[in-house]
Amino acid sequence: EIPCAGGRAAAAAGAAGANPMADASCPVPEEYRGVHGVFNVYNQKIDPRNNMPVAASQSMAPGQRRKISTERQRSTIPKSGVSSAEASTWTYPSPQMFYNSLVRKGKANDCTEDDMESVVSVHNAMNEDTWRRVVAWERLHLHECRDPMLLRFLGRPDDLSPLAWARYLTGGGKPFDRHDWYVDRCGQQVRYVIDYYFHEDKAGTPGQFDLVVRPAADSVGAVADRVKMAIYVGCAMLGVPCPISGNNGEIGREASAANTTAPER
């Protein structure tokens, strides 16, 4: 059965004898709930938390010439909506699973089996970088939740965000991908929008990727967070006391570091 995750909130409701599937705040869309689930065109059951097959294949894809590693790496990203017996962090797909996904989507023409190790390495590093930046934003809510977790995520490569449109219309390039990440803030679901850019002129350097991470402007609180963070970061860059907290503060410094220091890829 699909975990109805207000994450920790749903688990607590279940422990108290309530039915977490009846929670109106359940982030799993209603049409995805129940025992039948949702299947793709290959008759594979889909996990609505990541839009991937529940039992992703580790078998060789049709036409594949040589074996690819099936080893999966554990992320550092805490996973919400799971029982204590399950993994506490998200697990990345293996190079074989990643290749199978590309084949399934008809996007494997530009890569070979030999590319998969490095492709997955970059994929994993970008996700770790994304979570680091989300955590920097979540510092604004440290007083109410010390341990945010990733509840689910959605790839939206064909949907330009308003900010991406603005950058494109003013002469910038389009992002090569977009994700919406849904974070469990101790029972409250909050959405983050992430635009991923690639800079051809910086290819092969740590600056080749640009990640723009921010809370979705879908609530007054999220808009307020954007304003607050801009003030915090501005004060940290100028080294002046912040009008919100009265000091330079760690929030602005950490956010600045998260947006300028990327892990090696």
- pLDDT per position as a tens digit, 203-214: 888 788 999 999
Q: List CB contacts of 49: < 8 A, sequence separation 6 or more.
A: 2, 3, 5, 28, 81, 151, 152, 153
pLDDT value of residue 25: 42
| Percent above pLDDT 70 for the chain | 68
pLDDT value of residue 252: 59
pTM of the full structure = 0.74
- Cα(183)–Cα(108) distance, rounded to whole angstroms? 31
Which two three-digit tokens encode residue 141?
Answer: 């809510």
- Cα(180)–Cα(156) distance, rounded to whole angstroms? 7
Amino acid identity, position 124? N
pLDDT value of residue 244: 61
pLDDT value of residue 194: 97
Q: 257 to each of 9, 105, 137, 253, how far by Cα in Å?
A: 32, 36, 12, 6
pLDDT value of residue 59: 86
pLDDT value of residue 205: 84
Cα-Cα-Cα-Cα dihedral sign, residues 155, 160, 162, 166: positive
Domain boundaries, the chain: 8-260
pLDDT value of residue 15: 43
Residue 22's pLDDT band (cuts 50, 70, 90): very low
Spell out a b/e string for 183-209, using b for 16 or more CB atoms within 10 Å of the CB, else e: bbbbbbbbbbbbbbbeeeeeeeeeebb
pLDDT value of residue 31: 44
pLDDT value of residue 87: 64
Give which of 131, 193, 238 is closest to 252, Cα–Cα: 238
Whether the per-residue pLDDT at 259 is higher than 70: the answer is: no
Give which of 172, 251, 164 is closest to 212, Cα–Cα: 164
Please provide the DSSP assignment of 88-134 as one string.
SEEEPPPHHHHHHHHHHTT--TT--GGGHHHHHHHHHHHHHHHHHHH
pLDDT value of residue 120: 94
CB 148 within 8 A of CB 184: yes
- Cα(142)–Cα(20) distance, rounded to whole angstroms? 26
- Cα(33)–Cα(172) distance, rounded to whole angstroms? 40
pLDDT value of residue 89: 92
Residue whose structure tokens are 């074989």: 96
pLDDT value of residue 254: 66
Whether the per-residue pLDDT at 30 is higher than 70: the answer is: no
CB 179 within 8 A of CB 154: yes
